[in-house]
Chain A
Amino acid sequence: MRKQPAISVAMGRAFPIRSKISEILITIILIILALAVILPLLLPFMFVFKTRLEYNYHPWSWPTEIRWINFVEAWRAIQIGQGLLNTFYVCLGAIVCTVPAAAMAGYIFARYRSKVTEVIFYFILAGYFVPVQMVLIPLYQLCGLLNITDTLPGLFLPMTAFGIPFWTIIYRSFFAGLPNELAEAARIDGAGHTNIFVRIMLPLAKPATVLATLLVFMGAWSDYLLSLIMINSAKNYTMQLRIAQFMNQYGVDHMPRYAAATIIAAAPTVILYIFGHRWIIQGTLAGALKG
C-alpha cells in the first residue's frame, strides 16, 4: 500500500458513521484529555502570585494580590535570556551547516547516480542509525582535540553530523522526484553543473529546504544531552541547561518561585508554537512520512 504525503491531507468533512450520543461522549473525553495536556502549563499561574508561606498554608486559594516578585526572582535565578540567545545561535549554526551540506549531497545522489555515489550514499545512510549516545565519549574527546569544547560550535557541529544523513535522504528523494526537462533545457542552453544546481534545482527544492530548516531548528532547540556534556561555562549555557541548573539549585520547596520559573521556561516554546503550529505539525508529518 502506498501512502501519500500527509502534507496534502485535506481536512475533509466529518465521517458520517456516528451517533449523536457517542459523539458527545467522545468529544467530552477528548476535551478532558486536552485539558490534561495544558493543565500542567496553566496551574503554575495559580501559585505564582503567592508568597512562599501563603502557598504553604493555602495553595489552592485564589491569589489575594498580584505579586510580581516571584517572576523577578525566578528571572534572576534562571537567567534564561542569555540561554535563549545561545540556543538560537546553536539552532542557526545547525541549520546553516546541515541544510546546504545535505542539499548538495542529496542532489548528487539523485542526479549523478553511479556506482561510486551509491557506495557513498550508503556510507552516509548508515549514519542515520547511529545514536549520539554511542559516541558520546569519543565525541567529547574529539571536541577537546579540536578545541571546541565549551563553545557553541562544539554543539552544532556534532549535531550537524548527526542530522546530515536524514536530510540527505529527504533531499535525495525530493530531487529524484523533480522533472528532468528543466535541467536538460538549461544544459542545452550551456548552463554548467553549478548553475543548474543553484539556479534551477535548488529553487525547485524549496519545500524540502523549508522543511529541513524548520525541523533542524526544532531538533537543536530541544537538545539537552550534548549541551550537558559539551558546555562548561555559564555564559555558554543553552536554554535547556539554564532550566536544568535552576531545577538543581532551587527546588520545588519554594513553589511560587518554581512556578514562575516554569512559566518563564515554557513561554518561548509555547509562543513559537502558537505562531507556528501549522507549519510545525505539517513539517513533522512530512518528515515522518518520508523518513
Chain B
Amino acid sequence: MVNKNAKAYSMIPEQFRIKKKRDWNALVFKAALLAPAILFLVVFMYYPIEETFRLSMTRSTGLGPTVFIGFQNYVRLFQSEEFLMGLKNVLLWAFWSVVIQIPFSFFIAFSLSVFKNRITKPLRVIYYLANVLPSAITAMLGRFVFAPRHGVIPSLANKFNWQWLARIDFLGNPDLAFWSIFTVATWAYCGFYIIYLMANIEQIPKDIQESAQLDGATPWQYARFIVLPMTSYALRIVSILCIVGSMKIFDLPWLMTSGGPGYATSTLGIVLYKNGFVNWQYGRAAAIGVVIFLLSLFFTIIQFSLQRKEGDVL
C-alpha cells in the first residue's frame, strides 16, 4: 500500500507536488503564528467589548439579577450632573490642551532646534523627563506643590507673608482645581509634544533653511512662513493624539482631587470608575465606557481622514 502510494505520488509533476505540500504547511504555519494575537484579542478585547454593549443595556449591580432596560442607562447618564460635568471637563481639557500645550510645545521645539547651542542642546532630555514619570508620581508632585498650608506654594507665600496667595485653595476651589491639575498635566505631557515636533522640524531640508537665510528671514518669519506650514501635518497629528488622550484622562485628577470638590474635576474615566467600582452600577459604568469609545472613535476617524489626505506616514 505504502509503496504503491509513494509510487503514485512520484508520478505527479514535481512542481505541483512541492506546492501542494508547502501550501498545507503554510496554512498551519499561518494559523500558528496568528493564533496568539487572535486569542489575546478575542479573549481580552472583543469578548469584553461585546459584554460592555450588553451590560450597558442592563441594570446590573453584581449582587442582584441583571435586568434588561434598553437605553435607560444612557438616558439617565445625560440627566446626571456628575456625568455631564465629566463630559464637559473632558471636552474642555481637550480644547485647552490643544490651545495651550501644543503652541507652547511648538515654541519650545522651534527654539530648541533653531537656537541650538551647547547649553540648549541637552535641554530636550530634561523636558522629556517629566513625561516618563508614572502618573502616580506626577500626582504626588502636584500635591507637593499645590496642597494648601503645607504645599510648596502656600509655604512660600507664608515666607513672604503674601496672605492673598496663602489663602488660595488650588485644589479645593472648584474654579481653580481644574487649572491646577491642568498645569501639572502640562508639566508632564509637553515633553512628548516637544520631542515629536522637534523631530519634525529638524526634517526640514537644509536647503530650505539656507534659502530662507539668503532672503534675510528673521527667526519669526522663518517660523511663521516655513516651519509652521511644513509641520502642519505633524501639528494636526499631535493635536488629535492629545484630544483622544484627553477623553481617557483619569490618573491625575483621581489622585490629586478624587474628582472634587463636588464634580469640579470629574472626568469620564472617574465617573466610570466610581459608578463601576464604588457604586456597583455595572450597567451604568458600561454605558460610560461606550460613550468614551464613541468619542475616541470620532476623533480617530478625523485623524485617519487626515492621514489619508496627507499620505502614509512612513
A touches B (Cβ under 8 A): yes
Q: Assuming A14-B115, A27-B119, A104-B33, is B233 touching A1 (CB within 8 A)?
A: yes
Evaluate contact between B26 and A193: CB separation under 8 angstroms. Answer: yes
Check if B195 sits within 8 Å of A281, measured CB to CB: yes
Contact for B292 among A18, A133, A140, A194, CB less than 8 A: A133
Determine if A252 and B151 form an interchain contact, defined as CB atoms under 8 angstroms apart. yes
Residue contact B40 to A123, C-beta cutoff 8 Å: no
Q: Are B202 and A134 in contact (CB under 8 A)?
A: no
Chain A residues with CB under 8 A of B313: 3, 289-291
Q: B248 contacts A285, CB within 8 Å?
A: no
Total contacting residues, chain B, CB less than 8 A? 108
Within 8 A of B (CB), among A1-47: 1-6, 9, 11-18, 22-23, 26-27, 29-31, 33-34, 36-38, 40-41, 43-44
Complexed CA–CA distance, A192 and B257 (Å)? 59
Q: A14-B116, A15-B116, A247-B255 are in contact. Are A142 and B47 (CB under 8 A)?
A: yes
Is B45 an interface position by the 8 A CB rule? yes
Say whether A134 contacts B52, CB under 8 Å: yes
Contact status A104-B140, CB under 8 Å: no
- Which residues of A sit under 8 angstroms from B222, Cβ to Cβ? 15, 17
Tell whether, in the assembled complex, residue A259 and residue B144 are in contact, meaning their CB atoms are under 8 Å apart.
yes
Contact A27 B296 (CB under 8 A): no
Contacts of A252 in B (CB 8 A): 143-144, 147, 150-151
> Which chain A residues border B127 with CB–CB below 8 Å?
33-34, 37
B64 in the interface (beta carbon within 8 A): no
CB pair B292 A266 closer than 8 Å: no
What are 20 A-to-B residue pairs whose CB atoms are below 8 Å? A3-B313, A9-B202, A23-B117, A30-B108, A31-B119, A37-B127, A44-B144, A101-B40, A124-B37, A129-B296, A131-B296, A158-B44, A161-B41, A164-B40, A228-B273, A239-B134, A244-B136, A247-B255, A265-B137, A269-B134
Binding site for A on B (CB under 8 A): 25-26, 29-30, 32-34, 36-38, 40-41, 43-49, 51-52, 55, 108, 111-117, 119-121, 123-130, 132-137, 139-141, 143-145, 147, 149-152, 155-156, 158-159, 187, 191-192, 195-196, 199-200, 202-203, 206, 209, 212-213, 217-219, 222, 230, 233-234, 247-248, 250-251, 255, 268-269, 272-273, 276-277, 282, 285-286, 289-290, 292-293, 296-297, 300, 310-314
**What 3 pairs between A and B have smallest CB-CB spacing?**
A138-B51, A161-B44, A6-B199
